[in-house]
């Protein structure tokens, strides 16, 4: 697997100079963040981003993400026009040599947490989700805003969108996803681009909004509806693993030929539908990170992998979940697991 790192562009306090010093760091996962959802990404802007990363000895290996406009998710308004724009962005990415696109189909809100700096026993802090507290939050009040959210909506616009979703259930949202994929996947096939949908985070309904990419059964349904190999997934251990009901090994079995990108992070279950993010270590979280990586390696899944959300440690401040230090530790931890597994495999091959 190709060790990679999320970078939020020139405004990111974590610089490319920082990232390149992490051992075995090969890829950068990024996007063009100042283009509104639904608009075409200009080829020249993509090339500028690609070349800036290449100048630091790494490659732009995954775009995360090309946002899907709410009009597409709701199946309303300018849906077909917006899909045409999305197709053109895929073509421009391919022309620039970018062949993997991570995206999501979560209504309105991206990943959701109740705290951004919840303390851990070791003195660090991390992202936390508590279902008992979330259910009392009104997203229209402005009392909870998170870095993963699109804050371009004004309160009135957000209320209108939230109201519109009251008439859209999981079945309708899934139909809208398939409508979208049936139109963009042929372009992805032509351009040799792999589309890797990110799971819902967390993988259950929040604020009364439907969620559809939640576990193994959802993926079976997705692959049956759009069987193209270019229709794949981002295997996010922390998103799928937020639910103790999800078997991550089963998800790998279901999707192993369609896993095109891996997000690796650990979470500790703290109650029913409640969790806090931890270090990547199997000793801190509820997920068997060693076993998960071993399963991926044994299945021959050789794709970009990045250490996902990290704690804030050693007094670091910055974008919640996306500091330098703990994600660098996570990359090193993951590299150790992968190198050990590869070495064991080589020894076994030599002795057989």
Please identify which of the residues 86, 236, 260, 284 carries the catalytic annotation: 236
Report residue 268: phi and psi, to 5°.
-110, 120
Q: Which of 309, 325, 326, 333 is catalytic?
A: 309
Query: Side by side, which strands form the sheet with 267-271?
Result: 115-119, 125-130, 274-277, 267-271
- 200, 201, 284, 308: the active-site residue: 308
CA atoms within 13 A on the CB side of 326: 28
User: Active site includes 103?
Assistant: no
Q: Within 13 Å and on the Cβ side, how many CA atoms surround 303?
A: 28
- Say whether 153 is catalytic: no
CA 325 from chain centre, in angstroms, equals 20
Is 102 in the active site? Answer: no
The one catalytic residue among 102, 198, 284, 326: 198
Tell me, yes or no, if 198 is annotated catalytic: yes
Three-class secondary structure of residue 79 per DSSP: helix
| Structure tokens, 112 | 């959701």
Q: Is 280 a catalytic residue?
A: no
Tokens of 75: 């199946």
What the block records as the tokens of 169 is 């259930």
Residue among 103, 129, 322, 325 flagged as catalytic: 322
Nearest CA among 105, 37, 34, 33 for reference residue 63: 33
CB-neighbour burial class of residue 266 (10 A; exposed 0-12, middle 13-18, buried 19+): buried
Pick the catalytic residue from 86, 129, 165, 263: 263
Structure token digits, residue 320: 């919640």
Note whether 126 and 278 are within 8 A (CB). yes
| Residues marked as catalytic | 198, 236, 263, 308-309, 322
């Amino acid at each position: 697997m190709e060790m990679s790192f999320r970078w939020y562009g020139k405004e990111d306090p974590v610089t490319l100079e920082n990232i390149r010093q992490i051992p075995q760091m090969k890829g950068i996962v990024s996007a063009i963040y100042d283009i509104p959802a639904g608009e075409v990404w200009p080829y020249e802007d993509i090339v500028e981003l690609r070349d800036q990363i290449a100048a630091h000895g790494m490659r732009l290996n995954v775009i995360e993400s090309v946002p899907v406009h709410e009009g597409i998710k709701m199946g309303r308004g300018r849906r077909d026009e917006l899909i045409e724009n999305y197709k053109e962005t895929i073509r421009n990415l391919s022309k620039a040599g970018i062949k993997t696109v991570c995206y999501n189909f979560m209504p309105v809100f991206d990943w959701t947490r109740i705290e951004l700096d919840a303390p851990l026993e070791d003195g660090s802090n991390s992202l936390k989700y508590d279902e008992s507290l979330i259910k009392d939050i009104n997203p229209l009040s402005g009392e909870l805003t998170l870095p993963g959210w699109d804050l371009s909506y004004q309160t009135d616009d957000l209320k209108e969108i939230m109201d519109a979703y009251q008439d859209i259930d999981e079945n309708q949202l899934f139909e809208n996803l398939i409508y979208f994929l049936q139109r963009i996947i042929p372009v992805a096939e032509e351009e040799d681009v792999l589309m890797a949908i990110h799971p819902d985070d967390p993988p259950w309904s929040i604020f009364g909004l439907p969620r559809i990419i939640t576990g193994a059964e959802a993926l079976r349904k997705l692959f049956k509806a759009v069987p193209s190999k270019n229709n794949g997934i981002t295997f996010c251990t922390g998103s799928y693993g937020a639910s103790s009901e999800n078997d991550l090994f089963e998800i790998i079995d279901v999707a192993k030929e369609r896993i095109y990108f891996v997000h690796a992070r650990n979470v500790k279950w703290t109650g029913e539908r409640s969790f806090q993010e931890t270090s990547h270590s199997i000793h801190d979280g509820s997920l068997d990170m060693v076993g998960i990586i071993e399963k991926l390696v044994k299945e021959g899944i050789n794709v970009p992998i990045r250490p996902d959300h990290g704690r804030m440690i050693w007094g670091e401040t910055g974008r919640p979940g996306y500091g330098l230090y703990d994600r660098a530790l996570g990359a090193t931890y993951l590299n150790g697991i992968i190198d050990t597994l590869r070495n064991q495999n080589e020894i076994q091959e030599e002795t057989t």
